[in-house]
Amino acid sequence: MAEIESFTLDHTAVLAPYVRRIGVERGPHGDAITNFDVRFTQPNVREMPTAAVHTIEHLLAGLLRDRIDGVIDISPFGCRTGFHLLMWGEPAVPDVVAALTGSLRFIADDAVETDVPAVSAVECGNYRDHSLHSAREWARVVLDEGISTDAFARVGV
Ligand SMILES: [Zn+2]
C-alpha cells in the first residue's frame, strides 16, 4: 500500500494542541495544496466525543473561511483527536493557528444553536449527533492549553 505521511508520525512524541504542516502537493499546473495536521487533543490520552467533533466541524467550515483565505476542506480525523486541513497555496502555520484560535474563541464564547450550520436531515448525514454544549467545552480546553506552532514542542503558547 501507499505510504501515508500521517501514519509515519510518532503519535507518542507530539504535544497537542498544535498545527503541523504535513506536506505540500503540486498539481500539473504548479498549483500548491498544503495539508495540515490540526491536533486538538493528545493522541491516545483523550479524544473528543463524536457530537463535539461533528459540531466543531460544521462551525469551523464557515468560521475558518471567514478568517483565512484558501481553505479547501477541514475534516475530522477518525480518531477524534483533531482535523485534516487542506488549503490552497502554502499558508504559514502561525497564520493558520491565528485563524483557528479566533474561530475557537467564537465557538467557546459566543456560539448559540442558530450559529451551527446545516443541522437538518436534508443538510447533514447524522443531524441528531451534534452537541454545541460539548463543542464549546472542547473549544475552551484547546484555547486554555493554547495551539502550538510546533508539534513536538510548545511554541507560541
Ligand atoms: Zn454533519
Residue 129 sits in a domain whose CATH number is: 3.30.1360.80
**Is there a domain that residue 88 lies in?**
yes
Give residue 41 CA to ligand 1 midpoint distance, Å.
Answer: 21
Q: Phi/psi zone of residue 140: left (φ > 0), alpha (ψ -120 to 50 degrees), beta? A: alpha
Residue 107 lies in a domain: yes
Question: Does residue 150 belong to any structural domain of this protein?
Answer: no
Q: How far is CA 120 from CA 27, 63, 110, in A?
A: 36, 19, 22
Nearest to 98 by CA among 76, 130, 66, 122: 66
Q: How far is the CA of 151 from the centre of ligand 1 (A)?
A: 28
Assigned domain for 152 exists: no
Q: Is there a domain that residue 156 lies in?
A: no
- Per the structure, the count of domains in the chain is 1
User: Ligand 1 centre and the CA of 5: distance in Å?
Assistant: 27
Has residue 153 been placed in a domain?
Answer: no
Provide the pLDDT for residue 106: 98
Ligand 1 centroid, distance to 120 Cα (angstroms): 9
Domain holding 19, by residue range, is 5-145
Take residue 155 and report the three cell numbers written for it: 511554541
Asked whether residue 38 is assigned to any structural domain, the reply reads yes
pLDDT of 41-84, one tens digit each?
999 999 999 999 999 999 999 999 999 999 999 999 999 999 99
Strands, E, within the chain: which ranges? 18-26, 32-39, 71-76, 82-88
Residue 29 lies in a domain: yes
pLDDT in tens for each of the 157 residues of the chain? 888 887 889 999 999 999 999 999 999 999 999 999 999 999 999 999 999 999 999 999 999 999 999 999 999 999 999 999 999 999 999 999 999 999 999 999 999 999 999 999 999 999 999 999 999 999 999 999 999 999 999 999 8
Rounded-to-10 torsion of CA 63, 52, 96, 4: -130
